[in-house]
């Protein structure tokens, strides 16, 4: 098996730090074999049922998210790496906060464990590039006591070719590509960055999106796709990553979305100047487009209507405990905007072809404002 754990550029393994922190916090009951593994690239695992033995070992070492994993055999990892033109030893960056090196091979091992198929791997690489961007603030995401997680949005023709769902059940479950790609990024954060619950990650409650939160954008939207809005060509495929506090279901139209946005759900978005996302059902997008309403119109309307009364804001728990709010909040008169600008609202059309207004609001967290995008290099066997 390819060892999926993080190693710093200096050669140290991050698991040694994690074991010490787990010991200090009384957490070793969950990971009794933390830091106990051969210090080499590949480990031989034997047994009557090697798959079961790998799962037992990896769980006890803290290398899983609690769910069974696919053993990262050398053949499987090599098949992942073969879909990209990068060398297995190429380093994309260091994963905060414990700074394990994100080599192509290490990312591939975690992608195998997550259940990715080889053609999914270029999407995982692009998503990892996004979360390693300083704008994502990986250190903050990994160590905060908030329950923030990456929201991964795939836009472009590769989404359909790779089976990344944008329709029925786009936020899962039931779609391997969505589930495995998002899970691969989480395992990279866990195994290369050290985001162990209680030892490094202090998120008090967590959230289901910390297993996976990945969807595709519908390409039959009546509006320009996200990738084009962000400066890419229509024929390109991209991954965009935002920071998500949660996903709030909204049944209704823009007025209902604005109402949810103007609740305490947006408190951390306002405090830390986050960029939010709104997922709009195809039914709603087509109806709005037929009325001559475009994406920019929707953003402006939500910005104008998603306003928090000052009296309500003063009663929030966070208002009493936070030391300083952004100037655009403190200086607002009468009502407070949820985000500074309409451009801080990311619109994505996804979901089923049903005549039902099923939308979702994704509040954000963390500074700086974050919406990071990378182009996906198509898997080598799909080029052309």
3-state SS track over the chain: CECCCCECCCCCEHHHHHHHHHHHCCCCCCCCCCCCCCCCCECCCCCCCHHHHHHHHHHHHCCCCCCCCCCCCHHHHHHHHCCCCCCCCCEEEEECCCCEEEEHHHHHHHHHHHCCCHHHHHHHHHHHHHHHCHHHCHHHHHHCCCCCEEEEEEECHHHHHCCCCCCCCCCCCCCHHHHHHHHHHHHHHHHCCCCCECCCECCCCCCHHHCCCEEECCCCCCCCCHHHHCCCCCCCCEEEEEEECCCEEEECCHHHHHHHHCCHHHHHHHHHCCCEEEEECHHHHHHHHHCCCCHHHHHHHHHHHCEEEHHHHHCCHHHHHCCCCCHHHHCCCCEEECCCCHHHEEEEECCCCCCCCEEEEECCCCCCCCCEEEECCCCHHHCC
Average pLDDT over residues 334-351: 96
Q: What confidence tier does 320 reach under pLDDT thresholds 50, 70, 90?
A: confident
State how far the Cα of 322 lies from the Cα of 271, in Å rounded to an integer.
Answer: 8
The pLDDT of residue 332 is 86
With beta carbons less than 8 A apart as the criterion, state whether 242 and 370 touch: yes
pLDDT at 91: 98
Q: Across the chain, what does the average pLDDT equal?
A: 96
pLDDT above 70 (res 244): yes
Alpha carbons 325 and 197: distance in angstroms, whole number: 29
* Tens-digit pLDDT profile for residues 289-318: 999 999 999 999 999 999 999 999 989 999
The residues near 237 (Cβ < 8 Å, ≥ 6 apart) are: 154, 155, 156, 157, 158, 159, 227, 375, 376, 378
| Across 245-263, average pLDDT | 97
Task: Tell me the per-residue pLDDT of 191-236, one tens digit each, with 9 for 90 and over.
Answer: 999 999 999 999 999 999 999 999 999 999 999 999 999 999 999 9
* Cβ-based burial of 218 (10 A; exposed 0-12, middle 13-18, buried ≥19): buried
Averaged over 4-25, what is the pLDDT?
96
Among 80, 85, 63, which residue's Cα sits nearest to residue 188?
63
Domains of the chain: 246-364 (3.30.1330)
Look up the pTM and report it.
Answer: 0.96
Is the pLDDT score of 323 beyond 90?
A: no
Residue 356 vs residue 111, higher pLDDT: 111
pLDDT at 384: 38
Q: Residue 34's pLDDT is what? A: 97
Q: What is the mean pLDDT of residues 258-286?
A: 96
Answer whether 4's CB lies under 8 Å from 28's CB. Answer: no
At residue 382 the predicted structure's pLDDT band, cuts being 50, 70 and 90, is low
pLDDT band (50, 70, 90) for residue 140: very high
CA dihedral sign, ordered 234, 243, 371, 4: negative
Mean pLDDT of 162-184: 96
């Amino acid at each position: 098996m390819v060892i999926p754990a993080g190693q710093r550029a200096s050669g140290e393994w991050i698991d040694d730090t994690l074991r010490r922190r787990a010991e200090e916090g009384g957490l070793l009951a969950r990971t009794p074999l933390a830091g106990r593994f051969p210090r080499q690239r590949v480990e031989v695992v034997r047994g009557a049922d090697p798959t079961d033995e790998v799962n037992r070992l990896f769980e006890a070492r803290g290398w899983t998210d609690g769910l069974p994993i696919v053993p990262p055999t050398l053949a499987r990892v090599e098949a992942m790496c073969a879909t990209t033109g990068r060398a297995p030893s190429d380093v994309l960056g260091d994963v905060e906060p414990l700074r394990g090196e994100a080599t192509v091979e290490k990312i591939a091992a975690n992608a195998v464990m997550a259940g990715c198929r080889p053609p999914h791997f270029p999407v995982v690489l692009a998503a990892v590039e996004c979360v390693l961007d300083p704008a994502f603030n990986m250190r903050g995401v990994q160590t905060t006591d908030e329950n923030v997680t990456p929201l991964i949005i795939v836009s472009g023709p590769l989404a359909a070719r790779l089976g990344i769902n944008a329709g029925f059940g786009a936020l899962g479950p039931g779609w391997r590509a969505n589930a495995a790609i998002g899970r691969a990024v989480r395992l990279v954060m866990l195994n290369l960055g050290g985001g162990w619950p209680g030892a490094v990650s202090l998120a008090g409650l967590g959230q289901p999106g910390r297993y996976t939160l990945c969807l595709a954008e519908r390409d039959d939207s009546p509006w320009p796709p996200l990738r084009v809005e962000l400066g890419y060509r229509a024929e390109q495929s991209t991954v965009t990553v935002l920071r998500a506090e949660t996903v709030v279901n909204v049944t209704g139209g823009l007025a209902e979305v604005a109402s949810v946005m103007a609740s305490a759900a947006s408190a951390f978005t306002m405090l830390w100047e986050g960029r939010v996302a709104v997922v709009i059902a195809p039914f709603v997008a087509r109806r709005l487009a037929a009325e001559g309403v475009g994406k920019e119109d929707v953003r402006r309307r939500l910005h104008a209507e998603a306003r928090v009364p000052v009296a309500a804001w003063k009663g929030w728990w966070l208002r009493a405990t936070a030391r300083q709010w952004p100037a655009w909040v403190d200086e607002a008169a009468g009502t407070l905007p949820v985000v500074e600008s309409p451009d801080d609202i990311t619109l994505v059309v996804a979901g089923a072809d049903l005549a039902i207004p099923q939308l979702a609001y994704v509040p954000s967290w963390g500074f700086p404002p974050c919406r990071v995008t990378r182009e996906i290099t198509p898997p080598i066997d799909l080029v052309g």
